[in-house]
Amino acid sequence: MAPDMEAAFFDLDKTIISKSSSLALSRPLYRAGMVSRSALLKGIYAQLVYLLMGADEKRMDRAKEAMVALSKGWDQTAVEEIVRDVLINLIDPYVYQEALDLIALHRALGREVFVVSSSPEEVVKPLAEHFGATGVIATRAEIVEGKYTGNLEFYAYAANKAEAIVEIAERRGLDLARSYAYSDSATDLPMLEAVGNPVAVNPDRDLRREAEKRGWQIRYFRRPVRLRSRLQSVPRPTVPVAAVAAVAAAAVFVVWVIARPRRRED
């Protein structure tokens, strides 16, 4: 790796995709009997609040607590069949054209591209590969003997994102002063502050105010497109079997933001 390489770091929800991935995956889990009707409705309501008002520290803390409570004891293989075939299909219609164009531009200019998200790495990794990203920074859960313990090894949120970016930069020889970061939320201020070219995308109220005060660029993405249509003329990355299997774990964490699970017949 040549020294002083540049990079671009993209948040996922409301920056690359126009909706929350947890909302997209909640219905298949409900149909499979893994999420109750009340949990589904609570999840939809919570995500509508998130989409309209953004995320603050208190909301994210509640989501983190729900993550731990919901995941404990779940078997990774129990959700494999649900997620393997639906993840890309559900996210596909909600990818921002502007985000894809920016990712392609950064890659054409020789920059490395990373997706940085508080979502679990099991769901972020396969999506990042479809976007053509170099790698990801995402939440990692603890798994012992194929079961989720309810603990997190790494929570990709707020200052933790910035620390992970700095670690990657040191390891890969990236010049953060010449690098870029894109996010919609004020909770990602540390991530934006870590680079020389921060960009607020579809910013919430607090981030927009901070970006205006600091003279940061503000951009609005308005054109969701089908990712699959963009991939038809571009060679698709090969996804290892292990990575495909890992997508299954996404269901556990993506619905963490919903209430506690209660098995019931659909």
List of residues 6+ apart from 45 with CB closer than 8 A: none
Tell me the fold of 7-257. Rossmann fold (3.40.50)
Tally DSSP H helices, then E strands, for the chain. Answer: 13, 9
Q: Is the pLDDT of residue 38 over 90?
A: no
Total-model pTM = 0.76
226: number of Cβ within 10 Å:
13
Could you confirm whether 11 is annotated as catalytic?
Answer: yes
Out of 13, 92, 188, 204, which one is annotated catalytic?
Answer: 13
* pLDDT tens digits along 144-158: 887 878 788 999 999
Domain layout of the chain by residue ranges? 7-257
Q: What pLDDT does 259 receive?
A: 39
* pLDDT tens digits along 7-37: 999 999 999 998 776 566 666 666 766 556 6
Out of 11, 184, 188, 204, which one is annotated catalytic?
Answer: 11
The one-letter amino acid code at 191 reads M
Mean predicted lDDT score pLDDT of the chain:
76
CB environment 190-210: b (16+ within 10 A), e (fewer): bbbebbebbbbbbbbeebbeb
The whole-angstrom separation of Cα 108 and Cα 256 is: 36
The one-letter amino acid code at 12 reads L
Q: Is the pLDDT of residue 213 over 60?
A: yes
In a 13 Å sphere around the CA of 214, the CA atoms on its Cβ side amount to 17
Q: What pLDDT does 4 receive?
A: 79
